[in-house]
Chains A and B, each alone.
Chain A
Amino acid sequence: MMNHIQRILVFLLLTTPLPNQANELAVTENLHIRSLAASCAACHGTNGNTTHPDNKAPSSKATLAGMDKDHFIKQINAFISGERKSTVMHHHAKGLSVDEIAMLAAFFTEQKPQASSKLQHQALEANHD
């Protein structure tokens, strides 16, 4: 039988919003996942939109935006097991938790595929350092 304090604790647990938990908020608003997913941008572009969308080779820096959730999870697990050969992705995949993999899959599938802005090189100006 729960005492009074335990009842209050259970009540608080059930009613306090947990903004960092995937089941409380849309995954795109999950703080933990938004910054982790943003970390992938160095190779996969902002929100999973790569600058090289035509690059469809199996080990390319793939477009993650809009990728099927199950496909994403399957690929990450194949990197971990070694079933899918990779140069670098196994080093990342092995560092992620099962929950993080699932939430990253949900995050990227929600992202809208879009072309990235075209970046133009410039001639270095004389007064630059």
Chain B
Amino acid sequence: MTDFNIHRRQWIKTSLGLGLSPALLSACATMHHSKASAGRVVVIGGGYAGLAAAKYIRMWSAGSIEVVLIERNRQFVSCPLSNLVLGGSKTINDLTFGYDLTEKNHGIRFVYDEVVTIDHSNKTVNMRRGEVGYDRLVIAPGIDFDYISMPNLASADVQKSIPHAWKAGWQTVNLRKQLEAMPDGGIFAISIPKAPYRCPPGPYERICQVASYFKTHKPKSKIIVLDANPEIISKKGLFNKVFNETYAGIVDYRPNNAPVSVDIANKTITTEFEQVKADVLNVIPPQRAGRPAQLAKVDNVENRWCEVDFLTYESKVAPNVHVIGDAIDSGLPKSAHMATNQAKVCASAIVELMHHRTPDPSPVFANTCYSFVDAKQAMHVAHVYRYNPNTKIMVPAEGGGVSTKPSVEEGTFANTWATNIWSDILT
């Protein structure tokens, strides 16, 4: 171990003891056995799910559970609304925030590091620059991309030319710049992976955003949609209408068109049926649970997604390890609102379990997902989901549904949704 590592480790040990509450102070003695009255939860991942879990564990335990959150990046960038960066009505900075308020307001200890190994038997998470012990672990890893079928797309260099832009950040900015640089009359091709993937309506919203930009600024340009699915998989009727009416002549939708290979130099994608050469090519790769879930070996469903108990979000294969958000295997849409809901049911259950009480046996939550069809108009899909004690899964309750049509009013609500959910997790 280098001096730096020792310093860093010491820093983590020490800084963990500098929290606001006496419970945190008492944790100074050792990294591995928390003296906080009810113990320590380590959360991996500072996205929608991880932040909500960390905050609500602190709130509902009234500070009696110590929470350490490990995150690689120092900034939060929202995937919801990031398609609007491609349309040109938002910038990436509109969607970028710091973690300081969540940390300060709730006494959560943030450690900016990358997880290397997870040791279930010793209840330890090892990072590049230190390690931390836990009583319970919450893994909120988001998604990872599966490049097995298209290995030449895996490198960061290649992704400068053919970005996925499916995690908001510089790739989103890059894709926008490519669209801006594309001549009028050019072709934007987008490849949509087989479901399940993060944000079911996301690719179709992206198509609308690019179409909206083309319609105003590059009206001779076309969008070729190569969808691996047999049909539009979310808000189908609404998106179909928008593609066929608002963006008639721009959007060319081709279902059952899974990618087989990509020629990077020529920006040409080959599917099971055809070859398409694009000026701007966006391949959204197939997906699986994020890296920390793979390290913890909790991605037990086809080595892809994580099987959990829907009362606690505890992994079915690792006791005291909970998994939340896009990484889980469920019929639930992989949306930001859903991630926060799972996080809150998980947080509530963890607080009860760590105080030797029984969690809620019948959780219920609501999901609202907005999609923008241009800069101002949005439409929703919304459902309440209820735990079914017979099947032991969350199922949609009666009464849910979609908008009758996109509207400016719902566009306002979609922006309000964003500011409220950001405030809920980031303050």
A residues whose Cβ falls under 8 Å from a Cβ of B: 19-20, 31-32, 34-36, 38-46, 50-52, 55, 59-61, 80, 87-88, 90-96, 100, 116-117, 119-125, 128-129
Contacts and interface: CB of A to CB of B under 8 A. Distances in A.
20 contacts: A19-B357, A20-B358, A35-B363, A35-B364, A36-B363, A36-B366, A41-B340, A41-B424, A42-B368, A45-B420, A45-B423, A50-B420, A88-B380, A92-B384, A94-B397, A121-B97, A122-B97, A124-B92, A124-B169, A128-B77
B101 interface: yes
* Cβ-closest 3 pairs across A and B: A94-B399, A95-B384, A95-B397
A122 B98 contact: yes
B169 A129 contact: yes
A117 B96 CA distance: 16
Contact of B410 (A38, A42, A87): A87
B427 A91 contact: no
Contacts of B361: 20
Given A39-B366, A119-B423, A20 B360 contact: yes
B366 A120 contact: no
Instruction: Report whether over half of chain A's contact residues are helix, strand or loop; otherwise say mixed.
Output: loop
Contacts of B94: 121
A38 B344 contact: yes
A35 B348 contact: yes
Contacts of A36: 363-366
A122 B366 contact: no
A31 B382 contact: no
Nearest to B380: A88
Contacts of A40: 366
Given A31-B359, A95-B383, A119 B410 contact: no
Contact of A42 (B93, B340, B358): B340
A114 to B, nearest CB: 11
A67 to B, nearest CB: 16
Contacts of B403: 87-88
Nearest to B396: A95
Contact of A91 (B92, B363, B399): B399
Contact of B399 (A46, A51, A93, A129): A93
Nearest to B369: A42
A116 B423 contact: yes
A39 to B, nearest CB: 4
Given A35-B365, A91-B399, A91-B400, A129 B384 contact: no
B275 interface: no
A88 B413 contact: yes
Given A117-B105, A122-B96, A124-B93, A43 B417 contact: yes
B380 A87 contact: yes
B427 A123 contact: no
B352 interface: yes
Given A92-B382, A94-B399, A95-B397, A117 B427 contact: yes
B60 interface: yes
Contacts of B56: 38
Contacts of B352: 31
B384 A119 contact: no
Nearest to A117: B427
Contacts of B341: 35, 38-39
A35 B410 contact: no
B422 A119 contact: yes
Interface string B134-174: 00000000000000000000000000000000010111010
Contacts of A55: 416
Contacts of B400: 91-92, 94-95
B401 A91 contact: yes
A61 B423 CA distance: 14
A20 B424 CA distance: 25
Contact of B368 (A43, A60, A117, A129): A43
Contacts of A60: 416
B261 interface: no
Interface string B407-421: 101100100110111
Contacts of B358: 19-20
Given A46-B423, A123-B93, A129-B169, 6 more contacts: A40-B366, A41-B421, A87-B413, A88-B382, A95-B364, A119-B422
Nearest to A122: B96
B311 to A, nearest CB: 11
B386 interface: yes
A6 B98 CA distance: 59
Nearest to A32: B360
Nearest to B364: A36
B244 interface: no
Contacts of B245: none
Given A61-B413, A61-B416, A117-B427, A95 B73 contact: no
B426 interface: yes
B89 interface: no
B413 A43 contact: yes
